[in-house]
Amino acid sequence: MWLERASLVWGQHLTIPAFELLRPRSLAEASELLLKHGDDARLIAGGTTLVILMKQRTVYYPYLIDLQGISGIDHITADGDGVRIGAMATQRAVETSSVVRRSFPALADAFGKIGNVRVRTTATVGGNLACS
Ligand SMILES: Cc1cc2nc3c(=O)[nH]c(=O)nc-3n(C[C@H](O)[C@H](O)[C@H](O)COP(=O)(O)OP(=O)(O)OC[C@H]3O[C@@H](n4cnc5c(N)ncnc54)[C@H](O)[C@@H]3O)c2cc1C
């Protein structure tokens, strides 16, 4: 895990207050960081909602725990009559998955209706569920 001090500048007047980006390499590490920082921390996946909210100053967290570095949680696999979808699978991956399309075409279609391709390519299933 390594830490990165980040202060993102989005334009002359649109900035995100400084925060620390924590990059766990496993779910166990991510859980430890959540426990350690409590309400001061938030998970960040694709960032499509959270970054906007922080930019608008609707929310602020001094620590963001980035899930991008954790492998094995973006799977989409058939499982009997069902499908297993990892929290970090992108919405675009679900939309275009042959596994999902074969078993649950309505789900693939529904994901294809969110935002635009650019958003869906970055936004995750876990982020969408957490926002719902
Ligand atoms: C232009 C635009 C159009 C959109 N249109 C639609 C739409 O039509 N329909 C729709 O439903 N949504 C829409 N959205 C919302 C979009 O689906 C969400 O932005 C997206 O799902 C969030 O995913 P993310 O990975 O970017 O989450 P992030 O922005 O990274 O995180 C969002 C929240 O989820 C939490 N979170 C993320 N991952 C996890 C996890 N694995 N476990 C627990 N908590 C987690 C974060 O802590 C944060 O609170 C739109 C967004 C944009 C920007």
> Domain holding 10: CATH number?
3.30.43.10
Are 90 and 50 within one domain?
no
User: Which pLDDT score is estimated for 73?
Assistant: 98
pLDDT at 9: 46
- Do 16 and 60 lie in one domain? The reply is yes
What range defines the domain where residue 6 resides? Answer: 2-69
Render pLDDT for 15-50 as a digit per residue (tens, 0 to 9). 888 999 999 999 999 999 999 999 999 999 999 999
Whether ligand 1 lies within 6 angstroms of the CB of 43 is answered as: yes
pLDDT greater at residue 16 or residue 90:
90
Which residue, of 39, 54, 69, is where some domain finishes?
A: 69
Measured from the Cα of 43, ligand 1's closest atom is 47
pLDDT at 63: 98
Number of domains in the chain: 2
Q: Are 4 and 21 in contact (CB under 8 A)?
A: yes
> What's the CA gap between 88 and 61, in Å, rounded?
21
Atom of ligand 1 nearest to the CA of 50: 29
Domain boundary among 69, 84, 99: 69
Same domain, 36 and 53: yes
Same domain, 63 and 32: yes
Q: What CA–CA distance (Å, rounded) separates 60 from 77?
A: 35
Q: Answer yes or no: do 48 and 65 share one domain.
A: yes
Same domain, residue pair 63 and 84 = no
Domain identity same for 6 and 50 = yes
- For residue 101, the domain's CATH number is 3.30.465.10
Backbone phi, then psi, for 86, in 5-degree steps? -70, 155
Distance 98 CA to ligand 1 centre (A): 23
85 CB near ligand 1 (under 6 Å): no
**Does the pLDDT value for residue 2 go beyond 90?**
no
Query: Residue 116 is which amino acid?
Result: N
3-class SS of residue 51: helix
Query: Does ligand 1 lie within 6 Å of residue 114's CB atom?
Result: yes
Q: What would the mean pLDDT of 7-13 be, rounded to a whole number?
A: 45
Q: Please, are residues 75 and 87 in contact by the beta-carbon 8 Å criterion? A: no
- Which percentage of the chain shows pLDDT scores above 70? 89
**Same domain flag for 45 and 97:** no
Instruction: Answer with the one of 48, 69, 90 that is the final residue of a domain.
Output: 69
If asked whether residues 8 and 37 sit together in one domain, one would say yes
